[in-house]
Structure 1
Amino acid sequence: MNLQANFEQIPLKEYAERAYLDYSMYVVLDRALPFVGDGLKPVQRRIIYAMSELGLAATAKPKKSARTIGDVIGKFHPHGDSSCYEAMVLMAQPFSYRYPLVDGQGNFGSPDDPKSFAAMRYTESKLSPIAEALLGELAHGTVDWVPNFDGTLEEPSWLPARVPHVLLNGSMGIAVGMATDIPPHNLREVVAGCIHLLENPDATVADLAQHIPAPDYPTAAEIITPRKELLSIYQTGTGSLRARAVYQVEDGNIVITALPHQVSPSKILEQIAAQMRAKKLPMVEDLRDESDHENPIRLVVVPRSNRVDSAEVMQHLFATTDLEKSYRVNLNMIGLDGRPQVKDLKKILTEWLTFRTDTVTRRLTHRLGKVERRLHLLEGLHIAYLNLDEVIRIVRSEDEPKPVLMKRFKLSEEQADYILETKLRQLARLEEMKIETERNQLEEERARINVLLKSPAKLKTLIKGELQADAAKYGDERRSPLVEREVAQALDESALVASEPVTVVLSQKGWIRAAKGHDVDPEGMNYREGDGLLAAVKARTTQQIAVIDSTGRSYSTPAHTLPSARGNGDPLTGRFSPPSGASFDALTAGDNDTRLILATDFGYGFVTRFEALTGRNKAGKQIISLSEGARILQPQASADPARDRIVVVTTEGHLLMFSVAELPELDKGKGNKLIEVPKTKLTSGEERVAGIAVVAEGKGEVTLYAGQRKLTLRWNDLVEYGGNRATRGGLLPRGLRRVERIETTG
């Protein structure tokens, strides 16, 4: 015995390519993509057909879902029962399907959790009324029949849909190398588009979009995509659209009454609650779910006060939660040629109308065949009535009456059989009259069908009338209103934080924290062993704070994100990534437009806006150029650079006051010389700038600290030290010539 004859030897590469191609084609054609004719995937088609075979019409009594699924997987779809049942459940969910094809009784899930449906042994189901539009013409010779998976039964290759179901309920599926995302549409609008295309074959997609302006989801959420973009989707077959929840204000509360398609109310509540816990919704006080049977969706957002702008709150929630959702559109389906293709709106409707025309033609042809066969039989029966006595004699006297009848009256074999099978009671005169009436009616019907089959115009009129009848029977008003709106933008982070005073404290070793209020004693706070106060600034939670390291790089972070002052704070190295060996030497806070004076202890500085210090880069950005050995001084804010004065003091007791306006405003750099310090003293470290302070013209005062001694200089005292920028300044009294720091005190 030659075993080799049972094997085919091919290279592994070729086998793998062939096997994967076969698999991918199976997924594309038999699982994932709908057929343009009936808009169904094979599993959906088999479920509906199996239910019709079980007699589960809309008027019938429902049967256990397990019975239906058993028939589906046992006769037509040899796959998992759970996936098959899930496909049936989806067709029964009014929140998933725009026009449900299955009428489910029992727990078929909820908008909150579509997959929370009960097991199939607990639920019952039957077909919904609109399923008749898919099945009504099945027995009229309208479809091709193919053997089922084991060849014991036959199943339809497609269903003879009377409406463009491919657009009505849409479809989602992932195949191999392609996917489909067809949104649902309104039946009346789709039928109007079909009729317009029937009457105007040269109509453009823009013309059809006048009748089919947008998808129509099962929920009442607004479609906010502009008409121009919607038209582009229908012209190309791809794109995306946005849907937004509907809300109203009742007694100051925001009540959300409709959510976008496939958005869970519980997820929305969770998303809003998460922002509230993170203190990112200070304007919202409470959140409630008041949904019930009368109000399937009723989510209540309670503002903190009546001063809160509800529209502003909702704009933020639209941008940060699923209250506004984007849907991908990909009109990919299997066409009449059996190939998958992304089609524009006109191509879809054109192909469907071709499909419908073929279906109606097949239906009429099938009916014509039945009418002609019946007329043929009635013709033979009519001959028998005209020669009744002779027929009876032949039947009584002949051993084989059939051939005798055929020869005597020139009958066909079928006519002779029918005459012989006629019951005696049908030979009555009344029956003869009924047959004559039926014959006349059938001849009229035959003539009418022949006219329809020979006249494309009359066939179009018939299709149009049937479409209008189905639209009137099953159609309804649009649910998803079309309202053009701008895409929502989230509120700025500072607007989402309550504005509260804080004192930001930075330790010598780079640990930072924020204490509530401005009446805080930073020096009296607890510090880690070996650590102490470096700098403290008064800020608000809505502001940013900035720190500058020993290399002149600036880093920023929101003040409200800083840890509480109850502990020792967090190390700045956990937030930022400074250069190796760098230390954090300066701290400041403010709004973007706050003017700051940045200076070094080498006596150089410039004015900059606080915004120049901020950025999202963890590595910071270079803000001030430092000479070798120079250190950054604590920045000082200037409310009015044109009128403010800057006071500069050196460690040797030289003090100079000049106008802030004499300094350049830069985004970064070294700046200009503030006060004259001999270069030899700078390089030796003998004299440096001890600090700077900003005072308002005519009313400022500063306090100088030198060891245990301190000196407060009021405006009249400071005037004596006034001069031009970059001069040596005046000399302080002898006991205060070792100045350590300077503070603005008035």
Structure 2
Amino acid sequence: MTHSQQYNHEGVERMPLVAFSEKAYLDYSMYVILDRALPHVGDGLKPVQRRILYAMSELGLSAAAKFKKSARTVGDVLGKFHPHGDSACYEAMVLMAQSFSYRYPLIDGQGNWGSPDDPKSFAAMRYTEARMTPYAGVLLAEVDQGTVDWQPNFDGTLEEPVLLPARLPNLLLNGATGIAVGMATDIPSHNLREVARACIHLLEHPDAKIADLCALIPGPDFPTAGEIVTGPDELRRIYETGGGSVRQRACYELEQGDIVITALPYQVSGNRIMEQIAAQMVAKKLPMIEDLRDESDHENPTRLVMVPRSNRVDVERLMSHLFATTDLERSYRVNLNLIGLDGRPRVMNLREILSEWLTFRQLTVRRRLQHRLDQVLARLHLVAGLLIALLNLDEVIRIIRTEDEPKPVLMDRFGLTDLQADYVLNTRLRQLARLEELRIRAEQDDLAAERDRLQQLLGSAAALNRLIRHEIAADAERFGDARRAPLVLRPAAAAIDDNELAPAEPLTVVLSEKGWVRAAKGHDIDPAGLGYRGGDRFLGAARVRSSQPVVFFDSTGRSYSLAAHTLPSARGQGEPLTGRLDPPAGAHFVAVLGDEPQRRFVMASDAGYGFLAPLEALYAKPKAGKAVLTLPPGARVLPPAAVADPTTDQVAVATNAGHLLVFAISDLPELSRGKGNKLIAIPAARLAAREEFVVAVAVLSACASLVIHSGKRSFTLKPTDIAHYRGERGRRGRLLPRGFQRVDGLAVGGS
């Protein structure tokens, strides 16, 4: 009795609730770990799987037997060995029969046992029939040869094997998954021939490194034929540490321009793939696919056909996108957590798993040989007594006829043991014929030779290892097959950007003075003629393609970008940009820009500073945006001006006091952000007092004219007149004619 236990006057045990709860939880967790969720390194099975196979062997359901109803097997398992739910037991049985779930199925099923599209669609156990596969004999062939320990079943009326005497490392061949308490296991399946070669190599070279074993077992081998695209270095790390992940990718080929998917990753349903691709098509995220159909049948279990919209579709790019966004590529967790020979769960590396299994196999074979040697010695003992009786047959018959108790007389007269005497007395007369003596002597010689061979095997570790190596090679030859999931190095999958996937339709993005935005289809609309909310009016427009981003510029010099195809339709009045963006308090939007990413714009402030920036430098993730133009104290942002030809265009800068300066655009630096260089000289005092500032910046081609707006009047400077105002960047410029020295804006005219 522990110090925490107490008994009351009636003898009832009392225990603190915390102590009882802790003990109950620990007992439960150990039960789940050892007796439910984790496989054993010896036979690679969980208890329910082991009990199903043993019950089937007891029912005589070998690979050569007739099929028997699954309900019979489940009934025997539940009634004799596994007192749990019938549905859970049957599901475990179904899993062992599905060729798409087990690399080497243990049960041969007849009827509906599920399909790759829906593994849970199997028929009820009263309809299906089952027997064991030939491979299951690898686990059960030696169970009655003294190779296993036995334990009482749940009610103590029968005995069941603690482990099955597996002739191959089934743990690696079929893998295992399970969730226990505080731990889990995820062991992938492997190829039988590769694992057998690694076992033989480790037997011959006990000091072999994991790298040597990885040369023989390069990676898992799933039941499905998808490509394993995890690199060899990563696979080696998995086998060294016992944990990691493996990626498997679908296989496809081109047939007359169509993309045909011929193999899927493990546990991936073709119906699920069709749903995922169709969902993207409905959402207009796969404009390059015209049609999608499932042509799978009995001859072609996996045949999913995608029809590209044209022969210009980049198939590799499309498939890379689908690998990244659908289950055409799956990642599988690897956690080599199992119960070792010491009965304790732990994570092992590849060498430890193979070493432990080989130790288990050596113990099993030694027990099998010893069991057979005991049988041979016992038979030799009986045969020796029988030969004595044959050589003295007349005397033996006389003793049997005349003596009331012939057994002790025989033992005393001929020196027989108790067992030999019983055997002689139980022998039929026909076995004492002359020809029978020859047969018995031949049997004695055979048994003696077998005894010597068994003793030699048991007395030599090298001979025992040679036997194990021979048996492994023979089983690999009988049950092995080629690798099903090829190991292929492929570039990482990458999803296509939404902007790239969107159809490239012409859009006109319209921005109002109060920051409301909308997008109208086409480039031939009049944005100023659209309807606006009360007190609001047109500010700017950008003509773009729906696949391009649109840049918005605010009064603090920050830029923001949104995908054009996500903007609201111009059928309504749009929505406020502040719903999607988060400009600083008090800021307002001053421009909307859209063009090719390399298009340059003149970014300027009314303090007379500016620079060139490509449009792609203004792209920024929504909400906060990014600072582009640094404003001097008191300065304001001017709407950016687009550059057509950065080699020949000119920049026209006008102040409100009538100074105009025109200079080559090549004089401006190209920056991604900053204050920029001086565009035009303004006296510092006048600038500080806001008496003079830049009112407009325009970009002119070599043959363009410049329209000057002053109040309600305007006049045009022809290209020949513009030459009068040309100068070096940063100069004062020249005054415009009298009457136009209060400039309100500039506009670019034709030649």
**TM-score, length-normalised on structure 1?**
0.94
1:323 aligns with 2:328: yes
Instruction: Choose which of 472, 480, 502 in structure 2 pairs with 1:475.
Output: 480
Cα deviation code 1:285-328 (max 9, x no counterpart): 22222111111111112111112222222222223322222222
Q: Distance in 2 between matches of 1:713 and 1:63?
A: 101
Paired with 1:72 and 1:640, the residues of 2 have a C-alpha distance of 84
Residue 345 of structure 2 is aligned to residue 340 of structure 1: yes
Which residue of the other structure, out of 553, 558, 576, is the alignment partner of 1:571? 576
| 1:742 aligned onto 2:746 | yes
Partner residue, 1:181: 186
Distance 1:123 1:704 in 2: 91
Q: Which moved more, 1:80-89 or 1:4-13?
A: 4-13
* Aligned partners of 2:194 and 2:216 also within 8 Å: yes
Indicate the residue corresponding to 2:256 in structure 1: 251
SS of the residue aligned with 1:104? strand
Following superposition of structure 1 onto structure 2, how do residues 555-570 of structure 1 map, counting pairs within 5 Å?
A: 555-570=560-575
Q: Residue 439 of structure 2 is aligned with which of 434, 437, 443?
A: 434
For residues 52 and 685 of structure 1, do their structure 2 counterparts lie closer, same or farther at Cα, with a shift above 3 Å needed?
same
What is the CA–CA distance in structure 2 between the aligned matches of 1:727 and 1:173, rounded to whole Å?
Answer: 79
Structure 1 window deviating more from structure 2 (435-444 vs 191-200): it is 435-444
Number of the residue aligned with 1:462: 467
User: 1:615 and 2:633 equivalent?
Assistant: no
Closer/same/farther in 2, CA of residues 393 and 619 from structure 1, 3 Å limit: same
Give the counterpart of 2:721 among 698, 717, 724.
717
Instruction: Describe the superposition over 1:240-291 as per-residue Cα deviations: whole angstroms up to 9, x where unpaired.
Output: 2322221111111111111121222222222322333333323222222211
Tell me if structure 2 keeps the 8 A contact 1:107–1:118.
yes
- Which whole-Å CA distance do the structure 2 matches of 1:283 and 1:712 have between them? 50
1:140 aligns with 2:145: yes
Aligned: 1:307 with 2:283: no
**C-alpha spacing 1:240/1:709, structure 2 compared with 1 (3 Å):** same
Distance 1:76 1:529, change over 3 A: farther
Aligned amino acid, residue 506 of structure 2? P
Residue 382 to residue 87, structure 1, CA distance change in 2 (3 Å): same
Conserved 8 A contact 2:550-2:562: yes
CA gap 1:39/1:528 in 2 versus in 1, 3 angstroms: same
Moved more, 285-294 or 525-534: 525-534
- Aligned pair 1:425/2:430, yes or no? yes
User: Which of 699, 702, 711 lines up with 2:703 in the alignment?
Assistant: 699
Report the 3-state secondary structure (helix = DSSP H, G, I; strand = E; otherwise coil) of the residue aligned with 2:551: strand
Q: Give the superposed CA RMSD.
A: 2.6
For the 8 Å contact 2:8–2:14, the answer to whether it is kept is: no
Residue type at the aligned position of 1:107: N
Taking structure 1 as reference, are residues 736 and 110 closer, same or farther at Cα in structure 2, changes over 3 Å only? farther
Q: Residues of 2 paired with 1:151 and 1:368: CA distance? A: 31
Residue of structure 1 in register with 2:98 after alignment: 93
Give the 3 Å change call, closer, same or farther, for CA 67–686 of structure 1 in structure 2.
farther
Separation (CA, whole Å) in 1 of partners of 2:414 and 2:476: 51
> What letter corresponds to residue 487 of structure 1 in structure 2?
A
Q: Which moved more, 1:546-555 or 1:96-105?
A: 546-555
| More displaced stretch, 187-196 vs 727-736 | 727-736
Q: In 2, Cα distance between the equivalents of 1:294 and 1:255?
A: 15
Shift in Å, 1:742: 3.5
In the alignment, the residues of structure 1 paired with residue 123 and residue 714 of structure 2 have an alpha-carbon distance, to the nearest angstrom, of 82
Unmatched 5+ residue regions in structure 2? 1-6
Shift of 1:551: 2.6
Distance 1:735 1:83, change over 3 A: farther
Residue 736 of structure 1: how far off its partner (Å): 5.5
CA distance in 2, matches of 1:703, 1:306: 49
2:4 maps to what in 1?
none
After superposition, the Cα gap between the structure-2 partners of 1:70 and 1:705, relative to the gap in structure 1 and judged at 3 Å, is farther
Counterpart pick for 1:195 among 200, 225, 240: 200
Name the amino acid aligned to 2:371: H
Cα drift, residue 708 of structure 1:
5.5
Q: Contact 1:587–1:635 at 8 Å: present in 2 too?
A: no
Letter paired with 2:621: R
Q: CA deviation at 1:728?
A: 4.8
Q: Would you say how many aligned residue pairs link Structure 1 and Structure 2?
A: 745
Contact 1:586 1:632 in 2 (8 A): no
Matches of 1:88 and 1:6 in 2, distance apart?
46
Describe the shift of the 1:202–1:509 C-alpha distance in structure 2 as closer, same or farther (beyond 3 A). same
Identity %: 63
Answering whether residue 456 of structure 2 is matched by residue 451 of structure 1, we say: yes
Q: Distance in 2 between matches of 1:21 and 1:702?
A: 87
Q: Is residue 105 of structure 1 aligned with residue 110 of structure 2?
A: yes
3-state SS of the aligned residue for 2:725?
coil
SS of equivalent to 1:210: helix
Greater mean alpha carbon deviation, residues 712-721 or residues 235-244: 712-721
**Deviation, structure 1 residue 629:** 5.7
- String of CA shifts for 1:609-652, please: whole Å, max 9, x gaps: 32332222521222223456644222112244343211233455
SS class of match (1:658)? strand
1:595 aligns with 600
Write the letter of the residue equivalent to 1:311: E
Cα distance in 2 for residues equivalent to 1:137 and 1:646: 93
Q: In 1, Cα distance between the equivalents of 2:682 and 2:507?
A: 37
* Mapped contact 1:76–1:148 kept (Cα < 8 A): yes
What's the offset of the Cα at 1:745? 4.3
Per-residue deviation at 1:95? 1.0
> What does residue range 319-718 of structure 1 map to in structure 2 within 5 Å?
319-626=324-631, 630-651=635-656, 653-676=658-681, 689-696=694-701, 698-705=702-709, 709-718=713-722
Unaligned runs of 5+ in 1: none
Deviation of the 1:359 alpha carbon: 0.6
For residue 86 of structure 1, what is the amino acid of its counterpart?
A: E
- Amino acid corresponding to residue 615 of structure 1 in structure 2: A
Task: Tell me if the contact between 1:588 and 1:634 (Cα under 8 Å) persists in the aligned partners.
Answer: no
Structure 1 position 489, deviation (Å): 2.8
Q: What pairs with 1:203-218 in structure 2 (closer than 5 Å)?
A: 203-218=208-223
Tell me the CA shift for residue 593 of structure 1: 3.1
Q: Which amino acid aligns with 1:744?
A: V
Match of 2:84 in 1: 79
In the TM superposition, what is the alpha-carbon distance from 1:503 to its structure 2 partner?
A: 1.5
Q: CA deviation at 1:101?
A: 0.7
1:656-682 superposed Cα distances (whole Å, 9 cap, x missing partner) = 322223334333333344345567776
Match of 1:281 in 2: 286
CA distance in 2, matches of 1:494, 1:222: 30
Which letter does structure 2 place at the counterpart of 1:380? G
Which secondary structure does the structure 2 equivalent of 1:118 belong to? Answer: coil
Q: Secondary structure at the match of 1:215?
A: coil
Is the alpha carbon distance of 1:342 and 1:704 closer, same or farther for their aligned partners in structure 2, counting shifts above 3 Å?
same
For 1:47-89, what per-residue CA distance to the aligned partner results, in whole angstroms no more than 9, with x for missing partners? 1111111221111122222222222222222222222222211
Displacement, 1:366?
0.6
- One-letter amino acid of the structure 1 residue matched with residue 383 of structure 2: L
Deviation string for 1:549-601 (max 9, x for gaps)? 23322211222322332332232122212233432222112344332212234
CA distance in 1, matches of 2:729, 2:484: 73
Partner secondary structure for residue 633 of structure 1: strand
Amino acid at match of 2:527: P
Q: Distance in 1 between matches of 2:495 and 2:616?
A: 21
CA–CA distance in structure 1, aligned partners of residues 514 and 748 of structure 2: 25
After TM superposition, the structure 1 = structure 2 runs for residues 288-299 of structure 1, keeping only pairs within 5 Å, are 288-299=293-304
Residues 153, 739 of structure 1: alpha-carbon distance in 2 compared, 3 angstrom cutoff: farther
Q: Distance in 2 between matches of 1:538 and 1:683?
A: 37
